[in-house]
C-alpha cells in the first residue's frame, strides 16, 4: 500500500516585485527581495488597497487591482497556500500596494512622516492627558491598545518609570520640531520639569546628577525607587536607564535652550565619566552598585564588571547627538568619536558570526553566557550600529566607520530579515544552525516596531550618503512593511509587534501601546529622521523645523538648527521666519540663526533644503487663493513633486491658483502637460494664473497652450 499524499493548506503572505503579468491566465510572477520567483494566481475573490497614513480613510483599489499589476511594482500579497507532493499553488485574496503608481511610494510624500508624527503624538496626549491638562502626576507607564490607562485597583501602587516619561517627552518635543504645534511643546516642557523635580538626584558636592528608576504613587504619597527593579538589572543602576533619562530633556533643550537642562546634561555626563567609564580598557560599564557606585562590586552578580551594547552604543542616538546639535561643543563631539571607535574596535565578530557581539567582560572578552542573551543577536542593534556610524561619520569622517556600516548593511538582509514576507526579525542565534544553515529564531518569528525603525533609518541614511540603489531599495521595502502593517487605524498609534505575515500580535504586554519599552520614542524618532533623510538626502525636498527659544537662552544667542548629523555641504539653511516675519540674520552653510535680543520667547521657523536642488516647489493657501511657487528647472524629474503640490493646492478648493514661476529657468513638455491636465480637472470656476515677470522662454511655452491667465503686475514670491 502506497503512502498517502501529504497535503497542506494555510494562509500566509509574500512580498516582492511584479516580474510578469499574464491576464489571460489570471496570474502574475512575483520576485522576492532575495531573487526567488513565485507564481500568484488571481482566480478567487480578490481585494486590494493602497497603504494609507494614520487618520486617513481606506484607499480601496479592488476594482483596479488587475490594472495596477505593472511590472516592477512592489506588493504585499496575502492568500491561500496549497502544497501537495510535487506541487504548490498560491491564490491571492488581498494585495497591498505601497506605491500610488509605479515608483511613487506613499511615504516619500514630503509631508507623510510629519502627518504621522502629529497623529502619534496626539494619540499619547489623549491617552495620558484626556482633559488636555498636562499634569504629569497623572502619567501612567502603561496604556491600553486603545490608549487609555489601565484600571487601578483600590490601594494599588502605580509606578511611573523615569525612562518611559523621558521617552514620551522626547516624542512630544520631536512632534513640535516637525509641526510647530504648541500643545506638543507645552507637554514636553512640563514633562521635563516633572522629571527634574521628581526623578532627579542632584549631588552638588560631586557635581553630578543621577536619576531614579521611578516613583511609586501610593495612597500614602510618593515612594522613590532608586535602583532598578527589573529582573535583568535588579538592585543595580544600569547605564541605559541613566542614558534614556536624558533623551526627552535633551530634545526639549534643542528647541528652548533652557540652561537648566544644559546643566542636567553636563552633570549626568559627569556621572558617566566618573563612575561608568573604564579609563584603562575603554568603554563604559553597564551597571553600578547603588551604594558604592562601584561597577566591580560583588553585589552586582552577573552584571559585575560587564560592558554591553547599551552602555556604549546608546549614548549617540538617545541624547549625545542631539546635545551636540544644540551646542556644537567639541567635548561632546569627542565623546561621539570615542563611542564610535569603541564599537568599531570591539563589536564586529566575523568570521565567527555575521552579527556583532553585544555583551562583554571588563577586558572586552565576549560574554556568551549572560542571562537571556547567551550567544544571541538582537537584529535591530546591528542596524542601529550601521545607522549611527554613518551619522557620526558626518562629524568625524573615518573610513572604518563607513566600512563597518556598509558591511552590516550588506550582510544583515540574508540573516536578519524575512526574505519572503518583508520586515525584520527580533532575536536570532548569532551562529548558524549546522543542520540547515540558517540562524534560528530564538522565541518567535514576530517583528517589533522599533527594529523596523532601525532598518528604515540605517538604509535611508546609507542611500542618501552613498547613492547605492540597493540601500534605497531596502529602505523602501522596510518602510513599506512598517507603514502597511504597524499603523493602527482604529485606535491610533502603532502596534508593538506583528506576526510574521503582518497581522498585529495583541497578547500580554505586547498588546499595550504604553509600557516600559514603548512610549512614543522610536515611532516619533522614525518620523523625524525619515522626514530628514527622505527629504534632504534622497528626495530633494524642503524640511521645515520649529523652535521656541527662551530669551538669552543659547550662548551668544546662536540657535543651531541642523536636523541631524548630515554630510558636510549636503544641506543649507534656506529661509528663516521669526514670529511670522522673514528674518535674514542666519548662516546658510553652518545652519545657525543669530537670534535678536528679546525679552519674550521667540517663535522660529526654518526651512532647510539640499544644497544641490534642481527644482523647489511649494504651496500655500489663504482662504481663496492657492499659490504654487516653483524655482529652478521644471523638468520630467520634478513631475511627481509638481503633481503632489498641485493636488495639495487643489484639495483646498481655491477660486484662484497662482503659479509663481519668476525663478523657473527652464520648463519641459511633461510639466506643461501636467498643468493642462490639472487645469481641465479643476473646472472653469477656478482660474489658473501665471503671476509676475516670468522668463520669456517659460512664458512662451505656457502661452502656447492658451490655457492660463497672466498677471505680470503681481509680485512673485521672494521677489
Full 3-state SS string of 216-234:
EEECCEEEEECCCCCHHHC
Q: 710: helix, coil or strand? A: strand
Q: In the prediction, which pLDDT does 393 show? A: 98
Residues whose CB falls within 8 Å of the CB of residue 704, separated by 6 or more in sequence, listed in order: none
In this prediction, residue 156 has a pLDDT band, given cuts at 50, 70 and 90, of low
Residue 398 sits at the vertex; the CA angle it makes with 393 and 401, to the nearest 5 degrees, is: 65
Question: What is the mean pLDDT of the segment spanning 224-241?
Answer: 93
Q: Is the pLDDT of residue 269 over 50?
A: yes
How far apart are the C-alpha atoms of 44 and 50, rounded to whole Å?
20
Give me the percent of the chain exceeding a pLDDT of 70.
98
Strand, helix or coil for residue 65: helix
Supply the pLDDT for residue 616.
83
CA–CA dist 606, 651 (Å, integer): 25
pLDDT at residue 637, rounded to an integer: 80
pTM comes to 0.95
Separation between Cα atoms, residue 367 and residue 199, nearest integer Å: 32
For residue 301, give the H/E element and its range.
Answer: none
Beta strands at 237-238 and 287-288: parallel, antiparallel or unpaired = antiparallel
226 has pLDDT over 90: yes
- pLDDT value of residue 661: 82
Which pLDDT belongs to residue 1?
Answer: 53
Cα dihedral 339/341/342/343 (nearest 10): 90
Flag whether pLDDT at 719 surpasses 90. no
pLDDT at residue 539 tops 50 = yes
Is pLDDT at 683 greater than 80 in this prediction? no
Q: Which residues of 130-164 are buried (b: 16+ CB within 10 A; e: fewer)?
A: eeeebebeebbbbbebebbbeeeeeeeebbbbbbb
Instruction: Give residue 308's Cα distance to chain centre.
Output: 24
Tell me which H or E stretch contains 546: strand 543-547
* Nearest CA-CA partner of 173 in 200, 144, 193: 193
* Mean pLDDT, residues 481-503: 97
- Which is more confident, 681 or 52? 52
- Which element (helix H / strand E) includes 178? helix 162-179
pLDDT score of 692 more than 90: no
**What percentage of the chain reaches a pLDDT higher than 90?**
78
Residue 155 above 60 pLDDT?
A: no
Q: Mark 215-235 as b/e (b = at least 16 C-beta within 10 Å).
A: bebeeeeeeebebbeeebbeb
By mean pLDDT, which of 504-518, 601-615, 655-669 is the weakest? 655-669
pLDDT 10s digits, 406-444:
999 999 999 999 999 999 999 999 999 998 889 999 999
**Closest among 634, 624, 688 to 661, alpha carbons compared:** 634
Q: How confident is the model at residue 154 (pLDDT cuts 50, 70, 90)?
A: very low
In whole angstroms, give the CA distance from residue 430 to residue 423: 19
Q: What is the pLDDT of residue 664?
A: 86
What does the alpha-carbon distance between residue 366 and residue 358 come to, in Å, rounded to a whole number? 8
> What's residue 710's pLDDT?
79
Strands, E, within 579-635: which ranges? 581-582, 586-587, 592-594, 604-610, 615-621, 625-634
Distance of CA 222 to the CA centre of its chain: 35
**Would the pLDDT of 677 be above 90?**
no
Q: Is the peptide bond before 351 cis (omega within 30 degrees of 0)?
A: yes
pLDDT at 531 over 50: yes
Q: What are the φ and ψ backbone dihedral angles of 481, each rounded to 5 degrees?
A: -65, -45
Beta bridge pairs of residue 586: 593
| Span of 282-286, 448-452, 641-645 with lowest mean pLDDT | 641-645
| Span 262-276, average pLDDT | 98
- The mean of the pLDDT values for the chain is 93
Mean of pLDDT values over 239-268: 98
Q: Which residues contact 113 (CB under 8 A, 6 or more apart)?
A: 107, 178, 526, 527, 528, 530, 531, 534
pLDDT for residue 687 is more than 90:
no
Amino acid at each position: 500500500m502506497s503512502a498517502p499524499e501529504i497535503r497542506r493548506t494555510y494562509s500566509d503572505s509574500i512580498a516582492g516585485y511584479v516580474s510578469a503579468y499574464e491576464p489571460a491566465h489570471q496570474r502574475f510572477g512575483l520576485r522576492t527581495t532575495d531573487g526567488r520567483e513565485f507564481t500568484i494566481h488571481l482566480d478567487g475573490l480578490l481585494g486590494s488597497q493602497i497603504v494609507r497614513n494614520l487618520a486617513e480613510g481606506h484607499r480601496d483599489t479592488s476594482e483596479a487591482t488587475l490594472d495596477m499589476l505593472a511590472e516592477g511594482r512592489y506588493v504585499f500579497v496575502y492568500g491561500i497556500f496549497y502544497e501537495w507532493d510535487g506541487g504548490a499553488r498560491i491564490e491571492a485574496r488581498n494585495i497591498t500596494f505601497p506605491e500610488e503608481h509605479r515608483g511613487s511610494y506613499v511615504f516619500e510624500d514630503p509631508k507623510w512622516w510629519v502627518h504621522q508624527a502629529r497623529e502619534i503624538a496626539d494619540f499619547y496626549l489623549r491617552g495620558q492627558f484626556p482633559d488636555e491638562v498636562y499634569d504629569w502626576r497623572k502619567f501612567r507607564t502603561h496604556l491600553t491598545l486603545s490608549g487609555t490607562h489601565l484600571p487601578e485597583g483600590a490601594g494599588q501602587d502605580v509606578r511611573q518609570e523615569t525612562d518611559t516619561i523621558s521617552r514620551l517627552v522626547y516624542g512630544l518635543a520631536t512632534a513640535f520640531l516637525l509641526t510647530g504645534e504648541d500643545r506638543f511643546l507645552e507637554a514636553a516642557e512640563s514633562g521635563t520639569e516633572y522629571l527634574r523635580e521628581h526623578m532627579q538626584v542632584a549631588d552638588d558636592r560631586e557635581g553630578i546628577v543621577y536619576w531614579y528608576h521611578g516613583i511609586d504613587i501610593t495612597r500614602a504619597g510618593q515612594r522613590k525607587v532608586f535602583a532598578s527593579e527589573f529582573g535583568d538589572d535588579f538592585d543595580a543602576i544600569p547605564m541605559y536607564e541613566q542614558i534614556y533619562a536624558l533623551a526627552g530633556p535633551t530634545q526639549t533643550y534643542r528647541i528652548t535652550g533652557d540652561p537648566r537642562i544644559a546643566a542636567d546634561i553636563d552633570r549626568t555626563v559627569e556621572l558617566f565619566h566618573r563612575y561608568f567609564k573604564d579609563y584603562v580598557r575603554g568603554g563604559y560599564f553597564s551597571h553600578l552598585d547603588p551604594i558604592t557606585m562601584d561597577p566591580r562590586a560583588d553585589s552586582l552578580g552577573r552584571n559585575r564588571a560587564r560592558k554591553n551594547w547599551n552602555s556604549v552604543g546608546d549614548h549617540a542616538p538617545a541624547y549625545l547627538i542631539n546635545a551636540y546639535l544644540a551646542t556644537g561643543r567639541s567635548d561632546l563631539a569627542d565623546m561621539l568619536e570615542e563611542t564610535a571607535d569603541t564599537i568599531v574596535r570591539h563589536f564586529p565578530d566575523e568570521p565567527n558570526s555575521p552579527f556583532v557581539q553585544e555583551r562583554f567582560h571588563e577586558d572586552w572578552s565576549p560574554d556568551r553566557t549572560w542571562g537571556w542573551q547567551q550567544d544571541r543577536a538582537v537584529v535591530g542593534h546591528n542596524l542601529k550600529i550601521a545607522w549611527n556610524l554613518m551619522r557620526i561619520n558626518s562629524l568625524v569622517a573615518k573610513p572604518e566607520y563607513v566600512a563597518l556600516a556598509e558591511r552590516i548593511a550588506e550582510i544583515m538582509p540574508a540573516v536578519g530579515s524575512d526574505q519572503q514576507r518583508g520586515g525584520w526579525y527580533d532575536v536570532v542565534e548569532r551562529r548558524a544552525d549546522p543542520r540547515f544553515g540558517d540562524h534560528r529564531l530564538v522565541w518567535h518569528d514576530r517583528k517589533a516596531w522599533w527594529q523596523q525603525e532601525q532598518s528604515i533609518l540605517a538604509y535611508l541614511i546609507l542611500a542618501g550618503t552613498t547613492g547605492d540603489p540597493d540601500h534605497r531599495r531596502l529602505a523602501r521595502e522596510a518602510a513599506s512593511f512598517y507603514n502597511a502593517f504597524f499603523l493602527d487605524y482604529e485606535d491610533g498609534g502603532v502596534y508593538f509587534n506583528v506576526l510574521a505575515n503582518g497581522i498585529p500580535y495583541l497578547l500580554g504586554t505586547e498588546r499595550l501601546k504604553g509600557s516600559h519599552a514603548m512610549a512614543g520614542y522610536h515611532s516619533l524618532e522614525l518620523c523625524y529622521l525619515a522626514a530628514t533623510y527622505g527629504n534632504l538626502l534622497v528626495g530633494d525636498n524642503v524640511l521645515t523645523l520649529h523652535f521656541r527659544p527662551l530669551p538669552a537662552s543659547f550662548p551668544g544667542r546662536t540657535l543651531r538648527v541642523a536636523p541631524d548629523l548630515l554630510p558636510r555641504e549636503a544641506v543649507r539653511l534656506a529661509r528663516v521666519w521669526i514670529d511670522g516675519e522673514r528674518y535674514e540674520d542666519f548662516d546658510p552653510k553652518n545652519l545657525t540663526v543669530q537670534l535678536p535680543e528679546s525679552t519674550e520667547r521667540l517663535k522660529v521657523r526654518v526651512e532647510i533644503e539640499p544644497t544641490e536642488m534642481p527644482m523647489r516647489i511649494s504651496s500655500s493657501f489663504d482662504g481663496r487663493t492657492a499659490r504654487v511657487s516653483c524655482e529652478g528647472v521644471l523638468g520630467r524629474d520634478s513631475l511627481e513633486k509638481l503633481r503632489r503640490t498641485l493636488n495639495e493646492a487643489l484639495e483646498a478648493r481655491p477660486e484662484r491658483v497662482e503659479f509663481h514661476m519668476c525663478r523657473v529657468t527652464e520648463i519641459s513638455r511633461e510639466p506643461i502637460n501636467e498643468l493642462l491636465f490639472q487645469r481641465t480637472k479643476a473646472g472653469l470656476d477656478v482660474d489658473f494664473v501665471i503671476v509676475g515677470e516670468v522668463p520669456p522662454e517659460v512664458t512662451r511655452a505656457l502661452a502656447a497652450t492658451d490655457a492660463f491667465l497672466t498677471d505680470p503686475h503681481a509680485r512673485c514670491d521672494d521677489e
